[in-house]
Chain A
Amino acid sequence: MPHSLTAARLFFITLMACGGGGVLNGQPAATSFEASPIIRKPATDGKVWGGLIFASPKGKGTGVAKGDLPAGLRDLPVRLGKVFQFAHFELLGQHTQDVFREYESWVVPSKDLFLKVDSKGKAGGGGINLHLQFWQEQQVLVKTDAVLREGSPLFISGPKWRDGQLIFVLMLTMPED
């Protein structure tokens, strides 16, 4: 993990150095860095799974393979079909993420549609109080306060695309501490 963090930091700082701090498509430059200090893992309130689904009337691919889905959500296509009137559901991307207690967390199954997650602490009766921001590139589509509970996914209807629709699924996957 320290190796990965160093690579990420190197990548980011190189980009910033080449792009003037805001331009994002610069060429990497030769730069040397010290090794990352050991970073203590921040406290978390739980773990979430986020998936970006493309729902369409008839799909070309195999759809969502059960093995791709977290436990408790193997029947996701059936459940989505109860809400969204489409026959085919394709998992475009997914992201399992710790929900940090003191820092924002990002659930990014795609660059195009992603979620900012701020924990507001454990919820009475189980689950986590969350403030969510649903982003489409640089535009926030909706801000919401929600209680996310284990086994009860949140379906967020996204924009229409081609002959179908994009759907974001968020689920609490791990019992809290």
Chain B
Amino acid sequence: MKTPPDENQLVRYLDDEMDLAEKNTFEASLAADAELRAEIESMSRLGAVLRSAMPDGRDVPHPDFFNSQIQVRLAEEKQAHVREFHAPAQVGGWLGWMRTPWFAAAATAVIAVVAFGFWQDRHSAPTGLSVVLSTYAPNPSVHAHSFHSGEAQATVLMLDGLASVPPDRQIVGQQVHHSDMDRQVATTPLFSDEGRVLLVRAVDGRNQPRLLEHTR
């Protein structure tokens, strides 16, 4: 009785993954078996149709932001896992859920996540320090990256690729004591320590911030 080639062999042949000896053997089988040839042709046609109908890939809009949000989601899930691990079990159910089939896999995953968390903490930012979780620079020529400086005892967000401020431009600082949100007109007056209005933040028609100087 003829031994039919398994599906894996067919796929490997179509994907040209066989070595020469294996390919010769398979093609000898193919020459002798009309049914097998028909199968190969059918699979080949199906592959061609699928390739023509589906693009190889599609660009993700704003890939940096996409990646940063994935990092945020991973961090949130890590925290959720840790909370779940430390959450008290329900009374009467603690032995039951330990016997469930997914417990070993889940426990392994949680232990790995916790171990990774400890490792990451030891190698990036110790507890008690500020942390940058994600960054997104709308201008693609700007590259944002962060690190912790032990010497400076600070977290640093570096923005490479920013355009320089023209040297003749005056950068004027303000000594702002505080600001309040005026919800009635959606503005933010900024006050000096004497209670004098220095600036008023408003928004323009494109919802962009505008800082208006208060002169009188």
- By a beta-carbon cutoff of 8 Å, the part of chain A in contact with chain B is 1, 3-5, 7-9, 11-13, 15-16, 21-22, 24, 39, 42, 52, 54, 79-80, 82-83, 91-98, 100, 103-106, 108-114, 116, 124-127, 134-135, 138-149, 151-162, 166, 172
Contact = CB atoms under 8 A, between A and B. Distances in A.
B189 to A, nearest CB: 3
A-B interface, 10 closest residue pairs, ranked by CB to CB distance from nearest: A93-B173, A8-B189, A92-B173, A95-B176, A82-B152, A82-B151, A161-B165, A160-B164, A152-B130, A79-B152
Given A21-B205, A111-B199, A152 B153 contact: yes
Given A4-B195, A95-B190, A126 B175 contact: no
A108 B176 contact: yes
8 contacts: A9-B187, A11-B189, A52-B173, A82-B151, A95-B174, A103-B183, A144-B136, A155-B155
B210 A145 contact: no
B139 interface: yes
Which of under 10, 10 to 19, 20 to 34, or 35 or more describes the interface residues of B? Answer: 35 or more
B177 interface: yes
Contacts of B209: 106, 114, 116, 135, 138
B199 to A, nearest CB: 6
A166 B172 CA distance: 12
Contacts of A155: 149, 152, 154-157
Contacts of A172: 130
Nearest to B168: A162
B128 A157 contact: no
B159 interface: yes
Nearest to B181: A103
B112 interface: no
B215 to A, nearest CB: 9
A125 B146 CA distance: 20
Contacts of B191: 4
B174 A153 contact: no
B104 interface: no
A145 B76 CA distance: 12
A1 B162 contact: no
Given A7-B197, A160-B165, A152 B178 contact: no
A2 B215 CA distance: 19
B193 to A, nearest CB: 9
B181 A149 contact: no
